[in-house]
A and B are shown apart, each in its own frame.
Chain A
Amino acid sequence: MKKYMSLMLVVLLLLLAACSNKTTSDQGKTGDSKHPSGTITVWGWDVAAATMKASVEKFQKQYPDVKVKVEDFNSSDLYDKLTVGLAARGSGLPDVVLMEDERIPGYVHQFPEGFLNLNKLGFNKYTDSFNPAKVASVQKKDGEFIAAPWDIGPAGVFYRVDFFEKAKVDPNSIKTWDDYIAAGKKIKDATGAQLLPIDIANYDGVFQMMMQQQGVSYFDKNGKINLQSEEAKRAMATIKKFHEEDLILNNNGWDGIVTATVNGSVATIPYGVWYAGTIMDQAPDLKGKWDVFYLPSFTDEAARFANVGGSSLLIPSTSKNQSAAYAFTEFFTTDQESQLLGFEKYGLFPSLKETYSAPQFTANSEYFNNSPVFKRFADIVGQVPKIYLNENFAKASTITVNAQAAILLENKSVDKALTDAQKQLENEIK
């Protein structure tokens, strides 16, 4: 018995040794910052990963010695892998990683040494090439680029042309949120469709848009919580009004929004420009029936602009080939052709300003009622107010959603709910 066991152990050890031998790769050579070489790995998700893959060919014309491997995950899977890798002191991380902007402050806070300061590699010379609100969201307070800006999501209201016509509502007449509500009532009477989808207990995106168009977020510049501000009260009260007039479709998450988009149960969807791609994808039959107008605002003259979503590229500081990683990041985010490729094929709206004059942007979109939807967004993107995000973004959002649910579903007053939310958030981030 003992003999057998020791024999088995030896065999097992040999097997292990055999497995771990094939480790030598071409990671050794990395070249220098002028002539990077070697292989780098990039992590991204679906259409973004596809865009990066497609740009590799042109990249390699400039840097023939660099091989780029783009690996594609679902975004929440990517964050899991990234967190584990960073917690394991950088083990197993890629050389470049894609991240949503709202996640960046959290990661930088939790892993302060986790990512390269791109200014050190010279990225600050591009500050003026990008949309200013985007630049603000990928820089640390002192102006260090922690990420290279890629896409953004200027917000607008997608609407059903046929519903508006049937209810005889002119979308151009909608300037304020009150106009929006009045239009919503008419449309509901005429077509039976709700005005907009809000996943009441899980999604505060509409609140966030209303906040940003007033120039604020959950926090001010110094990290002070903004939930009791006039802006927050105004926004929440408006959402409450939507609910009182029974204009909200309480959808079930992302799938619910897509469902409502396809089956005509809502007349409008306020969202980031990238949602245009989803509409075209999932509702090919509704061609010509969707169009877009700017977000309503709180007063006639106030700004009607906000941003929803967007992502950027970061270089983990454990990357063994930082010069090649930077070369790719710099090339990809500042190359007009690569940026337009992602825009044209997948609706990823670049933050690189020089792209907006390209014909792809100014053309009329056949799907969207033959109107120049993307030009509309490009025209306003420079006016999207800068706001301050920080590492407590996710907590703030959760607490705000809970307040929203309490106001709409449990009839709590706006003042009381926001006061409680502010207190709770103060306690949690103390």
Chain B
Amino acid sequence: MITQKKLSTKIGIYCLLVLGVILSIGPFYWMLIGSTLPSGEIFHLPPKLLPGDYLAKNFQALNESLGIAKIFWNSIFIAIVYTIASTFICAMAGYAFAKFRFKGKNFFFFIILFSLMIPFQVTLIPLFELMVSFNWLNTYQAIILPSLASPFAIYLMRQNMQAVPDSIIEASRVDGAGELKIFFSVILPVTRPTLAAVAIFQFMSQWNSLLWPLITLNSKEMFTLPVALSSLIGMARIDYGQLMLGTTLSTIPIMIFFLVLQKQFISGILGGSVKE
């Protein structure tokens, strides 16, 4: 009896899980199928559930309208440079806020936290004017530089670095390590999960970012993937096949990035929540 009951709960749970899988994978599957169909056929009733033979044509059309290689390069270059530089800067800032004593420390930290509450739309126009006066419109640096020091990442880094025992740092000092050496050889290695979590956050936010690149970039050769995909949505003409293929292509790198760093990502987030 008991085992039967267990079995039936198990079946129930699995049914729910299968349903969840279908619900979460369904849209992705539809996107994949859509990228292999010509635009008109995507709307057929009943919907086509098997891949069509239009993939190459969609790719050709997409490449013609966007120049997909350059767009990919733009997105990857910007996201990687941004992720590395931003993670590094935020780690340094977080370390300073966690472990150093200096005048106005709490005040500055409060300012940083406070800036989390300012919506981006408020700073959009002044920032844009700044970019124009630097003559930075349509450049990589206009996208990479303004958001390098991310308040959220600094906050996350600080919380995690506080958990690093002072005694490690003191021991290193006693052993004669300089401050930089301590930071690079002691602090960074022990906070690796947090670094990975921050890196994923920064990478995802930059990879998916639409508004700011849209405002600052003007020519097709400089577009990032989201801006380029958005430009595919025409006034009265939308080639849905192209759009689906473009979306599929743009999700692949982020999936890979996430799968590679997934373990660190989860432990990094949990690491911030519990302190011993």
Contact = CB atoms under 8 A, between A and B. Distances in A.
Interface size class of A (residues with CB under 8 A): 35 or more
Contact of A258 (B124, B137, B231, B238): B238
B39 interface: yes
Nearest to A12: B145
Interface of B is mostly: helix
Interface stretch (A41-49, A194-202, A390-398): A41-49
A92 B220 contact: no
Contacts of A80: 211, 214-215
Nearest to B214: A77
A19 interface: yes
A262 B44 contact: yes
B237 A1 contact: no
A20 interface: yes
Contacts of B45: 263-265
Interface string A283-300: 111000000000000000
B230 A75 contact: no
B236 A277 contact: yes
Nearest to A15: B141
Contact of A77 (B136, B139, B230): B230
A19 B134 CA distance: 9
A35 to B, nearest CB: 27
Contact of A41 (B132, B178, B218): B218
Given A20-B135, A92-B137, A46 B214 contact: no
B215 A81 contact: yes
Contacts of B238: 254-255, 258
A85 B131 CA distance: 12
Given A262-B44, A278-B237, A23 B135 contact: yes
A429 interface: no
Contact of B178 (A1, A85, A347): A1
A259 interface: yes
A281 B39 contact: yes
Contacts of B43: 258-259, 261-263, 282
Interface in B199-234: 211, 214-215, 218-220, 227, 230-234
A223 to B, nearest CB: 28
Interface string B122-157: 001100110111111101010000000000000000
Given A19-B139, A262-B44, A263-B45, A46 B215 contact: no
Nearest to A286: B40
A160 to B, nearest CB: 15
A19 B141 contact: yes
Given A20-B135, A263-B43, A282-B43, A84 B128 contact: yes
A47 B234 CA distance: 8
Interface in A46-85: 46-48, 69, 71-75, 77, 80-81, 84-85
Contacts of B180: 1, 4
Contact of B125 (A87, A263, A264, A281): A87
Contacts of A20: 134-136
A91 B214 contact: no
B185 to A, nearest CB: 15
Contacts of A73: 214, 230-231
A77 B128 contact: no
A84 B234 contact: no
B53 interface: no
A167 B135 CA distance: 64
B235 interface: yes
Contacts of B135: 20, 23
B68 to A, nearest CB: 16
A45 B234 contact: yes
Name, among B129, B218, B227, B236, the residue most crowded by chain A CB atoms within 10 Å (CB to CB).
B236
A255 B129 CA distance: 36
Given A1-B179, A262-B44, A91 B237 contact: no
Nearest to B126: A88
A263 B44 contact: yes
A259 to B, nearest CB: 4
Nearest to A24: B135
Interface string A258-281: 110111110000000011011001
A89 interface: yes
A71 B218 contact: yes
B237 A74 contact: no
Contacts of B128: 84-85, 88, 91-92
B219 A282 contact: no
Contacts of A91: 128-129, 132-133
B125 A284 contact: no
Contacts of A48: 235
Contacts of A47: 234-237
B71 to A, nearest CB: 13
A274 B137 CA distance: 34
B214 A81 contact: yes
Contacts of A87: 125
A84 B40 contact: no
Contacts of A261: 43
Interface string B18-30: 0000000000000
Contacts of B235: 45-48, 75
A84 B216 CA distance: 10
Nearest to B211: A80
Interface string A1-31: 1001000000000001001100100000000
B179 to A, nearest CB: 5
Contacts of B40: 262, 281-285
B129 A274 contact: no
A281 B124 contact: no
24 contacts: A4-B180, A19-B136, A20-B136, A41-B218, A45-B235, A46-B231, A46-B234, A73-B214, A74-B233, A77-B214, A77-B227, A84-B124, A91-B132, A92-B128, A92-B131, A258-B240, A261-B43, A262-B44, A274-B236, A277-B236, A281-B237, A282-B40, A285-B40, A346-B237
Interface of B: 39-40, 43-45, 124-125, 128-129, 131-137, 139, 141, 178-180, 211, 214-215, 218-220, 227, 230-240
Query: Considering the complex of A and B, which 10 residue pairs feature the smallest CB-CB distances, nearest first?
Result: A46-B234, A91-B132, A262-B43, A263-B45, A23-B135, A259-B43, A88-B129, A1-B179, A74-B233, A282-B40
